[in-house]
């Protein structure tokens, strides 16, 4: 079964423990995920990126796949 992935960048306020979603990016399966995620983090200056996966292209049933933290 084919899997579909997208990344969501988050801004984080550690003082108040708040997270705000900034942008959503589709992932290209032909390019290494870590490389794409790193570029998204630089573009959005995002300390947190969560990767979500779905078994369908319409993303009706999502689950979190992986989480990346950046400084």
- From the CB of residue 9, how many other CB atoms can be counted at a distance below 10 Å? 23
Supply φ then ψ for residue 42, to 5 degrees. Answer: -70, -45
Average pLDDT over the chain reads 94
The stretches of 1-71 forming alpha helices (DSSP H) are 33-44
Q: How confident is the model at residue 24 (pLDDT cuts 50, 70, 90)?
A: very high
Q: Give the residue-averaged pLDDT of 31-41.
A: 96
Per residue in 37-58, pLDDT (tens digit) is: 999 999 999 999 999 999 998 9
For residue 19, pLDDT over 90 is answered with yes
């Amino acid at each position: 079964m084919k899997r579909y992935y997208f990344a969501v960048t988050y801004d984080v306020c550690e003082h108040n423990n708040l997270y705000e979603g900034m942008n959503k990016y589709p992932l290209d399966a032909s390019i290494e995920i870590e490389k794409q995620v790193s570029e998204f983090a630089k573009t959005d200056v995002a300390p947190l990126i969560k990767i979500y996966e779905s078994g369908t292209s319409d993303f009706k049933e999502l689950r979190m796949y992986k989480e990346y933290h950046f400084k």
